[in-house]
Amino acid sequence: MVLVVDDLLNLPIDLSMKVLQAIADDADAATLNSEKSVRTKVLETQMKYERGDMPEEEYKASMSLLRKRLDEVKGV
């Protein structure tokens, strides 16, 4: 019985932590602050180009910026 009460008391805290982590992950992806988020954006850009949704000039410009950002994030 004690474990059930303990779980119920921790539920709001656990849920809040999951929501905050999701917000942090979304913010990181939007601002390209981690290597993972930059690599994800690179893959998205490549897929758009391969599908024909992005002109070659835009693709080259985007990839150039993403490579620079990746180097910055990695500290190179």
Q: For 23-75, write each residue's pLDDT tens digit.
A: 887 887 778 888 988 999 999 999 999 999 999 999 999 999 999 999 998 88
d(C-alpha 76, C-alpha 63), whole Å: 17
d(C-alpha 59, C-alpha 4), whole Å: 54
pTM for the structure as a whole: 0.64
User: Mean pLDDT throughout 6-28?
Assistant: 79
Residue 3 binned pLDDT confidence (cut-offs 50, 70, 90) = low
Residue 2 binned pLDDT confidence (cut-offs 50, 70, 90) = low
